[in-house]
Amino acid sequence: MAQEPTLEGLFRQARHSAVHLEMRDGYMRSDPEFVSWSRAPLSVPARHDPASRPWLSLMREVTDRGVAVRRARIFSEPMSDYLRYEHHLTPGNVAAGEQVRWLPRRRASDLALPGNDFWLFDDALVLFLHFTGDGELSPEGDEERTTDPAVVRHCSMAFESVWERSIPHEEYQPV
């Protein structure tokens, strides 16, 4: 039986789009770089250089092939320290070709959203991401994949409704 591709492999297989909806106020707070940043924000540079952040190299590779990579973040205001950290790093993502937008949670109340963060590849495969209440990857399995057309359609519609209302990264400044 063939092994499913990794997240990186899914990006490399993508033909036209990869969209990501993030709905938590914090992730991986145990990350040593976040811990350093939370103690002294100016001590952690935004690092736009793909050599220092492998994710940026992957995004540049994928977007250079013409794949549109869009990320939308729903968040509470005032913004959590973790999302302030992500906002600090996001210019590197944008420079690597990702399009990133922010949607204050109060502006999302009437939207039908799935229960978990997800990546949607080529409007065909949904990769749900599972986290603990503290924002760490779930020990019971951190991802779930589906190609069910109804789930794909729901996630696509949810993402597009968030994207339409959200604020481009370049225009959003944390309160």
> Residue 12 domain-assigned?
yes
Read off the pLDDT of residues 101-141 as tens digits, 9 standing for 90 and up. Answer: 999 999 999 999 999 999 999 999 999 999 888 887 888 87
Q: Specify the DSSP element, H or E, that contains 63.
A: helix 54-64
> Residue 80 domain-assigned?
yes
Counting the structural domains of the chain, the total is 1
Rounded to two decimals, the pTM is 0.93
Q: CA–CA separation, 20 vs 156, rounded Å?
A: 10
Q: CA–CA separation, 167 vs 4, rounded Å?
A: 34
> Residue 137 domain-assigned?
yes
Pairing of strands 17-22, 68-75: parallel
Query: Is 119 in a helix, a strand, or coil?
Result: strand
